[in-house]
A and B are shown apart, each in its own frame.
Chain A
């Protein structure tokens, strides 16, 4: 099964949101569950990034590269970056992979690669 991360499209005004929110930011439609989920596109442009060296204890690596990526539908996503030399504006493609392992849990999220 291909894992997906979803954006949420308002059924009234069509605005996309990521992550999920209870009330649409565009039209503030207050009816419950008025969103259609749609998978996030897997390509985008790197907006900004950082190499983080002071890591939360569960990450047993010397550094973690984190970035914000803009997708073709205008949404932005925060994710992990596995790129040799990141550059602002570079094209990246995303995969849904394990991004965090704790004693009993694995968390899936967006990991971006070059290209």
Chain B
């Protein structure tokens, strides 16, 4: 297999965007091409979940490859729920590692604000089991709420810990001009004050409004290339050193221990193993905090902290910018936003930005190894990746 490098990166603002979906997917590719100067793209992968249902557009990759005037290059749409972005980057990795392509563009994009929040939540809820979960009104927040209750009972995580994740990631997002949420919050304001029940009501108890990521529009792109091509651009060399993916039962109730996220544990171990790295080697990580609880649990399942102690690391400030392992310095899904198909690619964008040392006032000093975890379904399909600055 050939080594694969991230040569270029690009991103849009994550917010409500009044542009066609194909443009939201194409624009970050233009930025990524500008970033590395590579104009010859062998293949394009587009990650998206809802185009057919929400935007009434199918065959999105064909539209994007043409609007970018990249024809006759090949193009495909990759749909793997909220892990579509990670899956698309993985496809790009495979195309280059195998020798089939030398330069691949991967774009992730979503335009979910075209519909109201209920419809957006319903789109994501269609990921659940059609007859054993969906018909009951099960949504992703409800699965996360049930999971959180178990985790609190077993490991002593409290609503205060969850609020601390929200406060941290929204604070990080203030340093990211592309982030959706530009609002500083405090634990007092969302938990302790008399107004807390008004400004932070329960969504799926014990999860509250500020425990859930926003519904966002946005796009992110990376350009992957062989070592020779990446070197020719003169940009810092960031190698995609490990890719891991794992699946789990479709129904959450079928999992042996419902407080385990086995697909995260397995995909993280594969990604780090392939890169010949230990969890302790990681300097900066982007985890899939669609709900605050997930950042805590993923940080344990990835091996950064012992099981049941992620919330203690959070309390110590280990995962804050300036701590021993800053997590979601971009703001994460919570602060940067979660345009479903774009998220996995945006995580890679942030890690490359950090490993290049170009992240300015949110730079993790001396970061050389980065990690991403892109979580699909309620943990039934997870893609993790490890990156190394050379």
B258 & A68 in contact (Cβ 8 Å cutoff): yes
| Residue of B whose beta carbon sits closest to that of A64 | B137
| CA–CA, A77 and B131, complex, Å | 11
In the bound complex, residues from chain A placing their C-beta under 8 Å from that of B281 are none
CA distance A17 to B145 in the complex (A): 24
Please determine whether B132 and A52 come into contact, CB atoms closer than 8 angstroms.
Answer: no
- The answer on a CB contact under 8 Å between A19 and B251 is yes
Query: In whole angstroms, what is the CA distance A8 to B98 when docked?
Result: 42
Rounded to whole Å, the gap between the CB of A74 and the closest CB of chain B is: 11
What 0/1 readout, one digit per residue, does chain A (63-80) give for beta carbons within 8 Å of chain B?
010111000000011111
| Interface assignment of A27: CB less than 8 Å from any CB of chain B | no
How many cross-chain pairs have Cβ atoms below 8 Å apart between A and B? 100
Q: A78-B251, A78-B253 are in contact. Are A18 and B132 (CB under 8 A)?
A: yes
Chain A residues whose CB sits within 8 angstroms of the CB of B218 once the complex forms? none
A23 within 8 Å of B (CB atoms) = no
Q: Is A57 an interface residue (CB 8 A)?
A: yes
For residue A77, which residue of chain B has the nearest CB? B253
For B134-176 the 0/1 string (1 means CB < 8 A from A) is 0111110110011101100100000000000000000000000
Q: Specify which of B132, B136, B153, B201 lies most central, judged by the most chain A CB atoms within 10 Å of its CB.
A: B136
Which chain A residue lies CB-closest to B145? Answer: A50
Q: Tell whether A100 is near chain B: CB-to-CB under 8 Å.
A: yes
| A53 B146 Cβ-Cβ under 8 A | no
CB of B203 within 8 Å of the partner chain = yes
Query: Which of the segments B86-94, B118-126, B232-240, B329-337 contacts the partner chain?
Result: B118-126
A109 CB-CB contact with B under 8 Å? yes
Q: Check B251–A52 contact: CB distance below 8 A.
A: no
With A19-B131, A56-B122, A57-B118 already in contact, the answer to whether A49 and B146 are too (CB < 8 A) is yes
Q: A66–B137 contact, CB under 8 A?
A: yes
Q: A107–B130 Cα gap in the complex (Å)?
A: 11
With CB as the reference atom, state the residue of chain A lying closest to B142: A52
Residues of B within 8 A of A49 (CB): 146, 149
Interface string of B98-138 (1 = CB under 8 A from A): 00000000000000000001110110010001011101111
B254 at the interface (CB under 8 A from A): yes
Q: Kindly state whether residue A48 has any CB partner on chain B within 8 Å.
A: yes
CB distance from B153 to the nearest CB of A (A): 6
List of 9 A-B pairs having minimum Cβ-Cβ separation, nearest first? A50-B145, A76-B253, A19-B132, A107-B135, A48-B146, A52-B142, A50-B204, A68-B253, A51-B205
Query: Can you list 29 A-B pairs, Cβ within 8 angstroms, ordered by A?
Result: A19-B131, A19-B251, A50-B142, A50-B145, A50-B149, A50-B205, A50-B206, A51-B202, A52-B137, A53-B202, A53-B203, A54-B139, A54-B141, A55-B137, A56-B137, A57-B122, A66-B138, A66-B146, A68-B146, A68-B252, A76-B254, A77-B132, A78-B252, A88-B153, A99-B135, A99-B137, A100-B135, A100-B137, A109-B131
